[in-house]
Amino acid sequence: MSRYSVEVANDAGFCFLNKYAAVPWSPWTKSIVQKLDGEIVAAVVLQDFNGHNLWMHVAADTTKRWITRDLIYWTFHFPFIQLGATRLTGWVEETNKAAIRFDEHVGFRREAVLASAGQHGEDVFLYTMHRHECRWLGLKNGCEKQV
């Protein structure tokens, strides 16, 4: 039986993310990682908290089961409850259909289109989720620790 764990791993999470997307380092960067048998299979990287908004990036090894109840819990509990953010913002290139489906499935809404702003000249979609819209905050994970 495989074992999953969720933990803070700022540098490791950021390095994992950069295998999938070229995201610049920011002085305010926090990472929550999902591990399977000790190996990172997903990372949620939060950047540039200004007291209201956080930029969120998600990367996953989709060849493995990577999303768990604990990861969903901490992905939204940490920024909205522990940090007090009022919104999350994600940047998704129009060619990344899997990320678009994922963002829309978990409740992000497309707020803006940045024409030709992508790495290869493609459009970029800005997705946002506001704390009052987050359906995951009522989720229980049975875990008393704080990430």
For 55-75, how does the pLDDT look when each residue is reduced to its tens digit (9 = 90+)? 999 999 988 888 888 999 999
Residues 118/94, Cβ–Cβ less than 8 Å: yes
User: What's the pLDDT at 64?
Assistant: 82
Which is nearest to 92 in space by CA: 106, 81, 79?
Answer: 106
Provide the CB-side half-sphere exposure for 89 (13 A, CA): 15
Q: Lowest-confidence range among 40-44, 78-82, 87-91, 136-140?
A: 136-140
For 2-23, how does the pLDDT look when each residue is reduced to its tens digit (9 = 90+)? 688 898 888 999 999 989 888 8
- Higher pLDDT residue, 94 or 140? 94
**Secondary structure string (H, E, C) spanning 89-142:** EEEEECCCHHHHHHHHHHCCEEEEEECCCCCCCCCEEEEEEEHHHCCCCCCCCC
Domains and CATH numbers, the chain: 4-133 (3.40.630.30)
